[in-house]
Amino acid sequence: MKFTTPHPSAPLAYNLVSIIAIVFILYIMQPFLVPLFISLILSIMVYPIVQFLEVKLRFNRIISALTVLLILGIIIGILIWLISVQISDFVNKSDLYTNRLTALYDEIFQYLEAHFGINEKQLLSQSDIKFEALLKDNFSRIGNLLSSSTSILSDLFLIPIYIFFFLLYRNFFVEFIHKAFPEKNNKLLNIILDQIYDVQKSYLLGLFTVMLIVGLLNSIGLLVLGIENAFFFGFLAALLLLIPYIGIIIGSLLPAVVALATKDSVWYSVGVIGVFGFVQFLEGNFITPKITGSKVSVNAFVSILSLILFSMLWGTSGMILALPITASLKIIFDHTPSLRPYGFLIGEPTADHLRSKAWSRLKHWEELKKEKEAEDSNSSDPEAS
C-alpha cells in the first residue's frame, strides 16, 4: 500500500475551502445568527443588573431575568416612542422643507445661468423627473425608513426569549464549553471567557456612555446654530455610533439638509457639518479612548475591514456586530498558539511600528552603542575585573 505525500499547496487549498464554507454558512444562517448574537451581547450588558438582583436583593434567577427583561423592554419602548414622535413631526414638515429646497435649487441654476451661461436643460435631460417631486418622494422614503428602523427590535420577538435563557442557563453553557474543549485546562478557558466578558462589557458600557456625551455635544452645537429638533438630531447621530466611523457622518446629513431648508444661509448647513465633524474628532481621539481604555484593542484598519466584510455578510446588523465579534476573535486568537499572529495583526500597533525604518535603525544603533560602552566600563573597572 503506497502513501502519497500531500501537495505543498494542499494546506492552503484546505484553508480557502474552509473559509468559503464558513462564510457561506454565516450568510445562509443570518436570520438565526444575528438575533442570537444581539441577544448574547445584550445579555452581557444586563448581567451586572441580574447579579445585583440575585446577590443583593436575593431574587430567584428566573425572577431576576424577567425583571431585567421588563426594565429593558420599558427603556426600549420609551426610546421608540420618542423617536416616533420626532419622526412624525419631521415628516409633517416635509412640504415646508421641499418648498424651501426647491426654491434654493432654482436660485442655484439662476446663478449658474447668469454667471456661467449654464442652464438647467444643459445639465438635466427632458426625461428627468421634477426636482420637487423627487424631494417629496425622498422625504417620504426617509420617514418610512426611519419608522421601520425603530420597529426592528419589536419585530425580533425572539431576542427577549434568547436573553432570558442566556441569563438562566449561563452556568450550564460555561460547563458545556469546558466539556467541548477537554484538552484545554479549566483555568485557561476561564481566563478566555472572563476576558471576552470584560471586553464586551467594556465596549457596551463605554459605547453607551460615549453616545450620551456625543448626543449632548451634538445637541448643544445644533442649539447654538438654532436648528429645529436639535436634541433629536443630536442623539440620532449619537445612536448611529453603533455603526463605527461612518455612523455619525450619516447622522450629520439630515440636520444639514434641515438647516439648508429652514435657514436663510448655506453657512448654517456648513456649520452643522463642522459641529458634527468636530464632535467626531473629539470622540475618536479623546472621549472613546478615555472611556473604553485599552480593553477593546482593535486597530482602525482592521475595524474598517471588519465593518466592510460584516456589512457585506449581514447588512446593517453586521456593521453593528462587527467590532464586538472582532474583539472576541482577537482574544481567542491570542490564546491559541497557531493563531497568535492573527491576534497580533488585529491589535493596536506600538509606537515603534509607526515610526520610520531609519528611526528604528538609529534606535538599534544607539542601543548597541550603550551596550558597548557598558562593556568597556565594566572591563576597565578593577573591582569588576
The string of pLDDT tens digits covering residues 60-92 is 999 999 999 999 989 888 988 888 888 787 777
- The pLDDT assigned to 7 comes to 65
In this structure, the chain runs to a length of: 385
Question: Which one-letter amino acid corresponds to residue 221?
Answer: G
Q: What is the mean pLDDT of residues 194-217?
A: 88
- What average pLDDT does the segment 263-273 reach? 86
Instruction: For residue 264, give every residue at least 6 positions away whose Cβ sits within 8 Å of its Cβ, in sequence order, or none.
Output: none
User: Average pLDDT, stretch 143-154?
Assistant: 49
Instruction: Specify the higher pLDDT residue, 378 or 281.
Output: 281
Distance CA 298, CA 154 (A): 31
Provide the residue type at 274 as one letter: G
Cβ neighbours of residue 110 closer than 8 Å, sequence gap 6 or more: none
- Are 81 and 147 in contact, with CB atoms under 8 Å apart? no
Output the CA angle 299-300-303, nearest 5 degrees. Answer: 90
Alpha carbons 384 and 193: distance in angstroms, whole number? 51
Q: Which three cell numbers stand for residue 116?
A: 456661467
Separation between Cα atoms, residue 336 and residue 339, nearest integer Å = 5
Separation CA 279–CA 86 (nearest Å)? 23
Does an H or E element contain 212, and which? helix 186-225
**Which residues, 6 or more positions from 278, have their beta carbon under 8 angstroms from its beta carbon?**
221
Q: Quick one: what percent of the chain has pLDDT higher than 90?
A: 24
- CA dist 53 to 44, 129, 323, Å? 15, 60, 30
Of 201, 250, 221, 233, nearest in space to 89 by CA: 233
C-alpha to C-alpha distance for 349 and 226, rounded to whole angstroms: 42
Query: How does pLDDT run across 111-144, given as a tens digit for each residue?
Result: 666 776 666 555 554 444 454 554 455 555 555 5
Residue 197 class from Cβ within 10 Å (0-12 exposed, 13-18 middle, 19+ buried)? middle
pLDDT tens-place string over residues 314-336:
888 888 888 889 999 999 999 88
Is residue 11 scored above 60 in pLDDT?
A: yes
The residue among 153 and 161 whose pLDDT is bigger is: 161
Q: Report the pLDDT averaged over residues 187-195.
A: 89
What is the distance between the alpha carbons of residues 164 and 69, in angstroms, rounded to a whole number?
A: 7
Coil, helix or strand at residue 129: coil
